[in-house]
Amino acid sequence: MPLRALLDDLYAEGQDFDARQSDRRDRRRNLEPDAAELLAMVLRIAGARDIVEIGTSNGYSTLWLADATAGTVTTVDVAPATEARATAARAGLSGKIVFETADGGDFLAARPDRSVDLLFLDAERPEYPGWWPHPKRVLRAGGVLAIDNVLSHPGEVAPFLRLIAGDPDFTASTVAVGKGLHLAVLRE
């Protein structure tokens, strides 16, 4: 099955699954296709090779990222990524993905300085401010920090976006795709 067909099926299955879940924490909460396409294009333009994704779910966004890089995607989730591993194998992208089971903040705290080209945050939004300054510290100069759901959940991401806006080392903008994608570039 071609990758785009697999991604379309995975997204549709995720939407159907989410509609049956009463607790949002049990949902897949996949990145929307237009936001995934934009993020993949940003990754390609930036030439990002070392990508970290916090929030794996079923691996939908992981596949987009892995397909768009010549490097490696490390995807981190508090739950084992059994379904995402199987999906990556079906897509033939397992060799480009490292799966980590860990708290996102703890993972970033242990990550070396300037070791990430693109950091994608798609996890529990209220936790992001507590992870500071690690999201900035791990980015290489010219690296991209991408945050999903900034238009759908503005109150939950506002404290984190204020940290970014108050940091003169970042240039940032929110793009109205999907549920809102905030992109911040660490200046050289």
pLDDT in tens, 112-170: 999 999 999 999 999 999 999 999 999 999 999 999 999 999 999 999 999 999 999 99
pLDDT at 1 over 80: no
54 pLDDT band (50/70/90 cuts)?
very high
Answer positive or negative: Cα dihedral of 39, 69, 128, 138: negative
User: How far is CA 146 from each of CA 8, 10, 70, 182, rounded to the nearest angstrom?
Assistant: 22, 22, 19, 6
In this prediction, residue 170 carries a pLDDT of 98
Structural domains in the chain, CATH included, are 31-186 (3.40.50.150)
- The amino acid that residue 25 corresponds to is R
Torsion of CA 49, 133, 182, 18, to 10 degrees: 90
Q: Which residue has the higher pLDDT, 15 or 155?
A: 155
Per-residue confidence band for 13, with pLDDT thresholds at 50, 70 and 90: confident
β-partners of residue 144 are 118, 185
Degrees (nearest 5) of the Cα angle 56, 122, 44? 85
Sequence-separated (6 or more) residues with CB below 8 Å from residue 23: none
Q: What is the pLDDT of residue 7?
A: 84
Mean pLDDT over residues 59-83, rounded?
A: 95
Report CA torsion sign: 42, 82, 29, 106: negative
Q: What is the pLDDT of residue 18?
A: 66
pLDDT band at 94 (very low <50, low <70, confident <90, very high): very high
pLDDT at site 69: 97
Percent of the chain with pLDDT over 90: 81
| Maximum pairwise Cα distance, the chain | 46
- What is the rounded average pLDDT for all residues in the chain? 94
Q: Which residue has the tokens 């549920």?
A: 179
| pLDDT beyond 80 at 60 | yes
Whether the pLDDT of residue 23 is over 80: the answer is no
